[in-house]
Structure 1
Amino acid sequence: MSENQISTTELTSQYIAQVTSDLERNSKEQERIATDISGLQEQLLALQHDHTVLVNMHQALGGTSPVAGVTPAAPSVPSQSSARTKQSKAAKEVKAAKPKQAAATGAKKAETKKPEARKSAAKAPRTTAQPSLVDLIRGHLEAQKEPRSAAEITTALTAAHPERTIKTTVVRTTLENLVARSSAHRNKQGSSVFYTATTEAPAKAEPTAAAG
């Protein structure tokens, strides 16, 4: 009878170690997926903003049926269901060997680790918020003393923000939108088009000239 107890104790310890290892691996996998989701959400927000700018340009040019944006599905559901499936399988294996203590310990650890993984996933998108492409382009133009082309602006912004995907076509469309709103000037030199930021100096000089 004592040998059976020893064998049961050893088996229980083995299952406890296995379940603990599975839980740690599961938690790390959730953190990795949460990080990937954060990066994808950032790219999605940038694309949605660019889509809004393009829609405004399309309507300003007389378009009537702009392409609608794509609404993504919630990315957190597959990861949670996968985690629940793995945990249910582990629980069945533990019950089959009758190690009740291992099941209780694994359940407690799972309950303590799940909130931590969810908190990290919830905090990630907030820390990665970045200025919009319009703000980046306007700030770049204001910092330049000479006119810049769309290609030059794209190169500068890509070097300053390597984590973002910035295309010349989107930059040119955004610049034209700024010109339409009198937030930038367009200068054509030969076959090339250059842009500069608008300033308030010319507007203030007109009353003085009129008074003279």
Structure 2
Amino acid sequence: MPDTTTSTSELTSHYIAQVTGDLENNTKEQERISAEIDALQELLQALQQDHTTLVNMRQALGATTTIVPSKPSAVPSPRAKKAAPAAPAKKSTAAKGGKTAKEPTAKKQTPKKPTAKSEASKTASQPTLVELIRAHLTEQQEPRSAAEVATALGQAHPDRRIQTTVVRTTLEGLVAKSHAQRSKQGSSVFYTASSADTPATTASNHAPAQAS
């Protein structure tokens, strides 16, 4: 009996440890996927803001030449083709009766005013997370970890929910696009702005030496 209870307790502890490990892996995987989703949503929001701004600029620059003709050609063109065969019949009956037939007047189509102007004006004033991270890295002279960047941005923008996992995913995206550089010190990963984003502080530092 003691041997049986000992083996049962060992199996139970083994299963508990295995289930605990599986739960930890599941939780980490959920956090990773949710961080990627948040980062993609940030990028999608930035693209939507750029799209709205470009649409508004195009309408402001060439609303009477480019935008207005494009709308009638997309929708009413099938109607014009169907009404074309009926035009000769109206002219022949008008010639017999001596009355002038009224030509069908085309419906005036006024370009729809974009309803996204008000939304664009509201969202344009708020920078995206990608812009905040790039600006923060540009201002720093030393490498910063994802946790340090998230803490600094959270203190500077308390109204925004900035998570470390989202910041880390965004930083990796900037590294992939060569907008940031990654370095590893031991088990810690640090990020710095790329050479194209960093201001030319070295030139300003060396300028007085050359003048002297």
Q: Which has the larger radius of gyration?
A: 2
What's the TM-score, normalizing by structure 2?
A: 0.37
Higher relative contact order (CA 8 A, sep 6+): 1
